[in-house]
Amino acid sequence: MIDPRLFSIATGSPEPIYRQLVEQVRRRVLAGQWAAGAGLPSVRELAQALAINPMTVSKAYSLLEAEGLLARQRGIGMVVAEAPGQPPPAAERLALVRPALARVAEQARELGLAPHEVLTLLSELMEDPDEPRP
């Protein structure tokens, strides 16, 4: 069972919460972090852990099911669907982080940060996955 604490939402983000959940699941599944058959938290459990409306979680799960990334298993709930084969190419995976990086680039420009400063910070954050999230 996937731990609900692995999910996070940014309440101040202009991106809807259901979309944040969809993108988190999509990234982890496509990166191979969550194997086929891994069970996701129930709608109620995840909604409670994130203090959000259960309909928001349900919407995210439904979109991911329609996409083929999740499957509903009777008596178990939502699980990561069987992988169709090869992981997607790097370009496809990079496309998933592009919107987040575009927001970071915009914020960095507004703050007057140099590109090398932001890239250094990004490298540090990628090397230390245990660093606390803001």
The answer, yes or no, to whether residue 84 has pLDDT greater than 60, is no
To the question of pTM greater than 0.75 for the whole model, the response is no
Tokens representing 48 are 């409670």
CATH of domain 4-80: 1.10.10.10
Sign of CA dihedral 25, 28, 34, 37: positive
| pLDDT mean over 79-84 | 82
The answer, yes or no, to whether residue 130 has pLDDT greater than 80, is no
* Per-residue pLDDT at 12: 87
pLDDT in tens, 37-75: 999 999 999 999 999 999 999 999 999 999 889 999 988
**In which band, very low, low, confident or very high, does the pLDDT at 78 lie, cut at 50, 70 and 90?**
very high
The better pLDDT of the pair 6, 30 is held by: 6
Pairwise CA distance, residues 82 & 106, whole Å: 37
Domain ranges of the chain: 4-80, 90-127
> How does 103-128 read in b/e, with b if 16+ C-beta sit within 10 Å?
eeeeebeeeeeeeeebeeeeeeeeee
The answer, yes or no, to whether residue 6 has pLDDT greater than 80, is yes
